[in-house]
Chains A and B, each alone.
Chain A
Amino acid sequence: MEGLGVMSAGLGAGLAVIGAGIGISRIAASSVESMARQPEATGDIRGSMILTAAFVEGVALFACAICFMIQQG
């Protein structure tokens, strides 16, 4: 049964990474697009891009932390 736990931790981490990858790339894509449209707003856009990317990353890391705990426990 321990093997199943380790496997589920690995699967969970992978799924979390898929979600975070999609989320962060959507943020990056749309902010590069808007920077190209409005180069004068680059600074503001970069700030909110980093902030929202950190949100997405944070949620993914919640999942990764839970996976880590499954694997440890």
Chain B
Amino acid sequence: MSAPHNPDEIDIVHHLVDGPPQVFGLDLTMLERFGVTKHVVMMWIAALLLIVLLNIAARQKGDVPRGLRNFFEPVILFIRDQVLMPNMGKAGLPYLPFLLTVFFFILMCNVLGLVPGGATATANISVTATLALISAFVTHFAGIRENGLVHYLKAIVPPVPFWLWPLMLAVELIGFLAKPFALAVRLWANMTAGHIVILVLLGFIFLFKNWGVVGISVGGGVAISLLELFVALVQAYVFTILTAVFMGMALHPEH
């Protein structure tokens, strides 16, 4: 798939950064001139897998879930009852499909990044920044639709003494920018950091060229891969619950 490596010159960074669209042995280089890159193809694969799997799960009839529906239903109920309801209440139910989409898409991108031959689309700051921007837009849209534009703008600053008002306005406006920024960088840094650790552990092989590091490289790599699997799940959950918290704050500004 890639050019043979010179063991004295290892380039670990090309596993992390975006590149020509070659994943899982698929060579889509002819799409490169349309701006399609490795991470774009990974996002297509994630979206396609989700469309197929979730449609199969959703089409199943009957009261007793079986097969794929049995797998997805507890996750969806968890998002609804543990993430959405405590943070947003009943007013948030129209946004359940959005939260589920965000959760499953990020989860699928994270997990596909752990499959050998793939790439992690969420380890690209542009991808996570776009996801965070979408989440910010939906948050403000939900707040304005629920409270009306005037009331929403008035509620940006909580009731404080008037001489504190300019300071609070500045703080809240910085908060508007900081929330999506933190969402984007958290997801990106988490996904990138885990891959760097795995690559560094495997890089010991090329660094020492000694049988003694096999235990560290292979054992450590396996352990960090398992941790990555957990982190992939936790980061999808964290992105979703933070979006729910911010949306809850926009929907019910007094609290």
Contact = CB atoms under 8 A, between A and B. Distances in A.
Question: A and B: partners?
Answer: yes
Contacts of B82: 47
A65 B234 contact: no
A41 to B, nearest CB: 14
Nearest to B125: A65
Given A47-B82, A58-B190, A65 B238 contact: no
Nearest to A62: B185
Interface residues of A, number: 12
B68 interface: no
A50 B234 contact: yes
A4 to B, nearest CB: 21
A9 interface: no
A28 to B, nearest CB: 14
Contacts of B189: 58, 61-62, 64-65
Interface string B225-246: 0000000001101100100000
Contact of A51 (B182, B185, B192, B238): B238
A11 to B, nearest CB: 17
A65 B188 contact: yes
A51 B241 contact: yes
Contacts of A61: 185-186, 189-190, 193
Interface string B162-206: 000000000000000000001001101110110010000000000
Q: What secondary structure prevails in chain B residues at the interface with A?
A: helix
Interface string A40-73: 0000000100110010011001101100100010
Contacts of B241: 51
Q: What interface size band does chain B fall in?
A: 10 to 19
Contact of B182 (A47, A57, A58): A58
Contacts of A47: 82
Contacts of A65: 185, 188-189, 192-193
B248 to A, nearest CB: 14
A40 to B, nearest CB: 17
Nearest to B187: A58
B189 to A, nearest CB: 4
Given A50-B234, A51-B238, A65-B185, A57 B190 contact: yes
A73 B136 CA distance: 31
Contacts of A64: 189, 193
Interface string B23-46: 000000000000000000000000
Nearest to B185: A62
Contacts of A72: 13
A37 B79 CA distance: 28
B234 A68 contact: no
20 contacts: A50-B234, A50-B237, A51-B238, A54-B186, A54-B234, A54-B235, A54-B238, A58-B185, A58-B186, A58-B189, A58-B190, A58-B238, A61-B186, A62-B189, A64-B193, A65-B185, A65-B188, A65-B189, A65-B192, A72-B13
Interface of B: 13, 82, 182, 185-186, 188-190, 192-193, 196, 234-235, 237-238, 241
